[in-house]
Amino acid sequence: MKILLVSPSGSDLYAKVGTQLPPLGLLYIAAFARNGGHYVEVIDLSVDKNALSRIHLKRFDVVGISADTPRYPAALKIAKKVKEAGIPVIMGGYHVTFLDKDALDTGLVDYIVRGEGEEIFLKLINALDNRSELKVIDGISYLDNGRIVRNKSASLPDILDDFPYPARNLLPIEKYKGKIVGVPLANMITSRGCPYDCNFCSSTKFSGMKWRFRSVESIADEMEVLYHKYGYRAFAFMDDNFTLRKNRVMEFADEVEKRGLRNIIWYCFSRVDILARNEDMVKRMAEVGAFQIFLGLESVNHNALKDYGKRIEFEQQMKAIRLIRKYKMRVHGSFIIGNINETEKQALETIEWAKNINPEVTQFSVLTPYPGTALYNQVEREKRFLHKKWELYDALHPTITLDHLRPEDVTRLLIKAYQSVYLQPKRFYKKKKTRPVKIKRSKLFGLSSMVRPVSFFLTFKKEMNRTAALYQFNSER
């Protein structure tokens, strides 16, 4: 079959802060389909905005589209064009996994692939190719005479080492501007699943409680390709829990050294409790290039942490930050504004705390109910939805009614939060204690690291003002 895979364009704001990266999920799907003998092309509208109008859709037998929640409306627009060309549409990704019926009811989507899509998509394509039975394919939803057929969920792939690498060569990789401290960044996934199940996060519902992981040899093999063939020196491990098992991190460090992957820097997601109890692991990570660690710090308020189901304590938050800095790495701290019963005072306490910690990268998100999460179900139950304008579900816009804060308060607090952290004078003059990077980086890095926070803040504020007009705050409660 001739397959076109499309990644809709995301918010420009994320690209502006250096997170423009190839869509790994779609590239995994592409690799599987290609290995299954199909012809595949991929377009990513975030880097090539006009790709769709250039492409002759009738050349393809089927078009697959990714849809996380904020990009779902854009995904539907693409689906409309594809359907107008008479080509069947398959949609996959977080949003449609949980709201498959909504998508099918639009009449713009023929099949939904629910959950991790590699094996399911290939089976579906083969079935369409051979005109064989769809009801035996686990993990898909479709309409049959106007009625939704939701086949049972597929079992999650266990042996990730057998997966082909994402088909990066199907995209113009050099066009991606994702960088860390000026060094171009390659993104990778080394594990799937999460046993923590925080109430605002989609990962556990999507990928299961069981943590499935690649061997350190498999990770290093892919890194070698990225290092030698593509020339990358910076890596971002985008799994929810790169550090879940200490032994694997320690073995990974040995493997990186054994392979001679020198002068690299890397980034990963972790949890404060795991770091706080494993100083030896933190030290070892730094020795083999760990440079920046993402921590879901969320809130300084104990009750909020409890509501989020984070299972972390203040002491662990502070210790993890101390350890990261002790070994001269950078903290990427992520905070949440707008817990359902948060007061202005509590939100300001978290903002003040963030300002004091002053993570090198600081991210504030508005608590947002993503489909499939416990939070979404609570908001539905309590009738707290302000709107379902999915494009505004980007964690920068209010979407729910809170007990004490109005939507405009949340927006004001979010602006204040970014302003308090990024525009504080010490960010501009204080010497960084991070270990030096001995890798060639873009010439303008020094200048851009000064300008970027200001430019980010101005763009962010403009975006806030632009979108404030988009909603009518119909607080029904």
**In angstroms, what is the minimal distance from the CB of 29 to ligand B12?**
5
* Residue 394 touches ligand B12, criterion: CB under 6 A: yes
**In angstroms, what is the minimal distance from the CB of 3 to ligand B12?**
9
Q: Based on CB atoms, which residue is closest to ligand B12, 307 or 394?
A: 394
**In angstroms, what is the minimal distance from the CB of 117 to ligand B12?**
3
**In angstroms, what is the minimal distance from the CB of 118 to ligand B12?**
5
**Which of these ranges, 89-97, 212-220, 406-414, 453-461, lies near ligand B12 under the rule CB under 6 A?**
89-97
* Residue 116 touches ligand B12, criterion: CB under 6 A: yes
Q: Based on CB atoms, which residue is closest to ligand B12, 124 or 284?
A: 124
Among 215, 197, 217, 214, smallest CA distance to 206 is for 197
Q: Are 166 and 27 in contact (CB under 8 A)?
A: yes
One DSSP character per residue, 341-382 reads T--HHHHHHHHHHHHHH--SEEEEEE----TTSHHHHHHHHT
Going residue by residue from 234 to 263, which x/- string records binding to ligand B12, judged by CB under 6 A?
----x-x-----------------------
CA-angle at 207, arms to 227 and 109, nearest 5°: 95
Q: At what angle do helices 246-258 and 279-287 cross, to 10 degrees?
A: 20
Q: Based on CB atoms, which residue is closest to ligand B12, 194 or 357?
A: 194
Separation between Cα atoms, residue 98 and residue 153, nearest integer Å: 12
* Residue 119 touches ligand B12, criterion: CB under 6 A: no
* Residue 118 touches ligand B12, criterion: CB under 6 A: yes
* Residue 203 touches ligand B12, criterion: CB under 6 A: yes
* Identity at 199, one-letter amino acid code: N
**Which of these ranges, 22-30, 301-309, 321-329, 411-419, lies near ligand B12 under the rule CB under 6 A?**
22-30
The C-alpha torsion from 464 through 466 and 470 to 476, rounded to 10°, is 40
Q: Based on CB atoms, which residue is closest to ligand B12, 103 or 201?
A: 201
* Residue 191 touches ligand B12, criterion: CB under 6 A: no
* Identity at 161, one-letter amino acid code: D
The interface with ligand B12 within residues 60-79 (CB under 6 A) comprises 64-66, 68-71
SS3 of 279, please? helix
- Report in angstroms the alpha-carbon separations of 339 from 90, 189, 300, 369, 403: 35, 30, 12, 11, 9
**In angstroms, what is the minimal distance from the CB of 185 to ligand B12?**
10
* Residue 167 touches ligand B12, criterion: CB under 6 A: no
For the purposes of burial, counting CB atoms within 10 Å of the CB of 102, is it exposed (0-12), middle (13-18) or buried (19 or more)?
Answer: middle
* Residue 173 touches ligand B12, criterion: CB under 6 A: no
Cα four-point dihedral sign 445, 446, 451, 453: positive
SS3 of 407, please? helix
**In angstroms, what is the minimal distance from the CB of 306 to ligand B12?**
19
The interface with ligand B12 within residues 28-47 (CB under 6 A) comprises 28-29
The interface with ligand B12 within residues 346-385 (CB under 6 A) comprises 365, 370-371
* Residue corresponding to tokens 């905070």: 335
Q: Based on CB atoms, which residue is closest to ligand B12, 317 or 373?
A: 373
Residue nearest to ligand B12 (CB): 25
Q: How many CB atoms lie within 10 A of CB 156?
A: 16
Q: Tell me, what DSSP letter sits at residue 410?
A: H
* Residue 21 touches ligand B12, criterion: CB under 6 A: yes
Separation between Cα atoms, residue 20 and residue 13, nearest integer Å: 10
* Residue 51 touches ligand B12, criterion: CB under 6 A: no
Q: How many CB atoms lie within 10 A of CB 91?
A: 30
Q: Are 41 and 77 in contact (CB under 8 A)?
A: no
Structure tokens at 389: 């304008």
* Residue 186 touches ligand B12, criterion: CB under 6 A: no
* Residue 92 touches ligand B12, criterion: CB under 6 A: yes
Q: Which residues bind ligand B12 (CB under 6 A)?
A: 10-11, 14, 19, 21-26, 28-29, 64-66, 68-71, 90, 92-95, 113, 116-118, 121, 187, 189, 201-203, 238, 240, 365, 370-371, 394-395
